[in-house]
Amino acid sequence: MKIMITCTCTRLLTSLFCIATVVNASGLPTIPDPDNIYTYPAEDTIEHEATWLQWPHNYGWDPIHQERYEDIWLEMALALHTGEKVHIVAYDENHRAGIETLLVAEGADMTQIRFFVYKTDDVWVRDNGPVYVFDQYGNRIIEDWIFNGWGDKQDYFNDDVIPECVADEKAHPYQAVPMVNEAGSIEVDGRGTLMAKRSSIINENRNPGMSQADAEAYFKRYLGVTNFIWVDGTKGLDITDDHIDGDARFANDDTIVLHGRDAFFEPSEYDIITNATDANGAPYKIVELPKTSVELEALNFTRGVYMNYYVGNDVVVFPIFEDPNDDIAAAILQDLYPNREIKKIVFTELYKDGGIAHCVTMQQPVANNNDSIPSDKTLAPYSSKDDASSSGGTTGATFINILATLALLHLWWWH
């Protein structure tokens, strides 16, 4: 309870921080603490300390959530925990005890499992969980981008405070980011390029009034990227407004894995992605993954997607659908990751609700410097530099931004 109260208060302060963010003469927000530079590493090119999972429970919108999903979570935890720790978020102590009993019964090495007891709304930790970056000193930082339930489509109050809860309990340096963004809506190659769909970022249900240039300013500042691959995406295609990680992924920092052109909802997106270049102007290697060979009745007669895999230290958690193309797709991934085991897990039940392995996992990279920070630096969501007096005054855009943020805060408070 103490942690949840602390995190809730922090979220309120974060919202107030967003309101206080000033705007310079160009109309762009003045980024706090400009001395800090952050870099977001790619999940498959950096060693993980742990993978985060939010365990399914029956306290949310689905009264049989746990029964439907739990076998998948058990398989993921067992597959991952031999190569890295698995950090499990449980809803309460009873929930935690039940999960522990399951893992012990399956012979899990419990020294590799750590539990965190926080209330959650759902399981999609990729979108609401802590985003681990490194600052210019090599320190590992938890970034907290605002999560609003994919544009206020689903309850999100509990999920939105998970990054603060983790930072508080683990005493990690923490940086609030005053922008709505889900980590599933972006892909990074680890060498300065970000790939995304406009539909899930530059959208009035996430960031009212934000332009592409505004979004890029935040990504440059907080993720350390300089090069962008944008496709339009399709608003309303699914609850996420068409996240990029369902269609295209980076691999090994020089490759893009994606569906064939005919499998894209908008085939022109395939053309844009396959003709893109990296931050140095070099083309990417292109690898295509199929979808399932047939439309599956269990998936409301849609094709299963293999794209949404997750790369751990020793394994690739790979979704399968009991389809002939399962082995074909797995072999393609094995060629990309020859030193990792392709761990096939049937994800049909989860995919009924719109997500797969990548959506429900989040990497925590190994720390470089014991998460310490220089003694003359304070990494907090709100520092003395977050002061309007340093902005050289405000403009009309300031007032507009403040009103927009107040409206978002109002929605957040009542949901």
What is the CB neighbour count within 10 angstroms for residue 298? 13
Separation of CA 260 from chain center: 25
As a whole number of angstroms, the distance between CA 133 and CA 365 comes to 8
- Which residues does the chain have with pLDDT short of 50? 1-5, 14-32, 372-405, 407, 410-412, 414-415
Q: What is the pLDDT of residue 298?
A: 77
Q: What is the pLDDT of residues 186-209, one digit of tens each?
A: 999 999 999 999 999 999 999 999
C-alpha to C-alpha distances, 247 to 72, 96, 232, nearest whole angstrom: 22, 34, 13
Q: Summarize pLDDT for 349-395 with one digit per residue, the tens.
A: 999 998 999 999 999 999 986 554 443 333 443 222 232 222 233 23
Query: Domain 2-234+354-414 falls in which CATH fold?
Result: L-arginine/glycine Amidinotransferase; Chain A (3.75.10)
Q: Name the E strands within 107-165.
A: 113-117, 131-134, 140-146
Domain range annotation of the chain: 2-234+354-414
**pLDDT tens sequence across 132-165:** 999 998 999 999 999 999 999 999 999 999 999 9
Contacts of 14 (CB under 8 A, 6+ apart): 144, 146, 164, 176, 178, 381
Please report how many Cα atoms fall inside a 13 Å half-sphere around the Cα of residue 292, on the Cβ side.
20
